[in-house]
Amino acid sequence: MAESENIVVETAEKIFSDLADAQTINHDKQGSWKAPLWQALTEAGLPLAWVSEDCGGSGASLAEGFGVLSAAGRFAIAVPLAETMLAGWLLAQAKIASPEGPMTVAPAAPKDRIALNADGTLSGRARGVPFAKDAKHIAVLAHGAGLLSIALVDPAKCRIEAGLNLASDGSDTVTFDKVAPITIKPAPKGFDQTSLMLIGAVARSLQIAGALESMLDISVRYSNERVAFEKKISKFQAVQHNLARLAGETAAAMTAASSAADTIANASSFDDSVFLEATAAKIRCAEAAEKGAAIAHQVHGAIGYTLEHILHRYTMRALAWRDDFGHESHWAVELGKRVAARGADELWPLVASR
């Protein structure tokens, strides 16, 4: 990691450590921690990290932004940081300046489509849009007359049906009924909805991997504190075996997510290598989230299921993030189609090249 990337990630970690402590948040039933955290993130330029300075952002690299998302996963923060970063990145593709405040991006599912009507308005429905009710603006990818466009939309002009994911964070349905966008411009040549889904999938993969790191740390620490039958439960072979499995799932998720992030950060387009890395990362991280959450709760026993304990903040979000920007079943099918289309002779060269 370059020195500049270290600085950006260290800044994010310092903010999260100071203002997003899991235990403090767990006891704050009013959500008063959110405003100071968002203010600090904004002052550091992190929500618009992927937006160039001439478009209102801080001009950080993709690699630096991915590092921030990994750190955000380790703290399992429940504010639209990743969503605002993705929205700013999408708007930047069309040279649209990003406004201040939290944003989100639509669609957030591969099969949802927003249509650009002949009169320049937008119509369609996007399901599972993270934090749509909390967003001040929505960055939208719209299809119209064989062309793709990127638009900035005022959420007040849309119909938003509130929803919650497994972690009780916003996962809303946004309906566009001939909504006039604030700004709309053509998407760059070669850009498509799959490109948006892939970078969103990698963002979620990094967050899942980060959450798994924290699950492992919390579980190891608890096993060294909890005493049963007059000895620490970390001394029991069954517990040691489970912790080793959790460490393996965490390492696999971190490796897959980091590799995908590096590939996108160094790629000039969303080619087959990016598709392979991004989809494989989402599939593997989703699998690790399921197995890792089960192991972490098994190690903790009943206490891990209580709202008073911080474990659920990480396990529930890791499980919820599996569905955003394409769940693992969707990407497994799409990856299979892509590999099959290339033919048997191309399979090994493709896999071996990564």
* pLDDT tens-digit map of 228-244: 888 888 888 999 999 99
Statement: the pTM of the whole predicted model exceeds 0.85: yes
Asked if pLDDT for residue 3 goes beyond 80, the answer is no
pLDDT of residue 305: 80
Parallel, antiparallel or unpaired: strands 137-144 and 103-106: parallel
In whole angstroms, give the CA distance from residue 310 to residue 169. Answer: 16
- All domains in the chain, ordered by first residue: 1-77 (no CATH), 102-190 (2.40.110.10), 193-352 (1.20.140.10)
Lowest mean pLDDT among 28-37, 128-137, 282-291, 340-349: 340-349
In whole angstroms, give the CA distance from residue 334 to residue 329. Answer: 9
Q: Which two tokens stand for residue 333?
A: 């099918």
Strand partners, 185: 150
Phi, psi dihedrals of residue 308, rounded to the nearest 5°: -70, -25
Sorting pLDDT into bands at 50, 70 and 90, what band is 1?
low
In whole angstroms, give the CA distance from residue 115 to residue 117. Answer: 6
Q: Which two tokens stand for residue 21?
A: 């402590």
Q: Name the E strands within the chain.
A: 103-106, 114-116, 122-130, 137-144, 147-153, 159-161, 171-179, 183-186, 227-228, 231-232
Q: Which two tokens stand for residue 289?
A: 């989230």
Other residues' Cβ atoms within 10 Å of the Cβ of residue 41: 26
* pLDDT tens-digit map of 124-136: 999 999 999 999 9
DSSP state of 327: -
Asked if pLDDT for residue 4 goes beyond 70, the answer is no
pLDDT of residue 346: 82
User: 66, exposed or middle or buried, with CB in 10 Å at 0-12, 13-18, 19+?
Assistant: buried
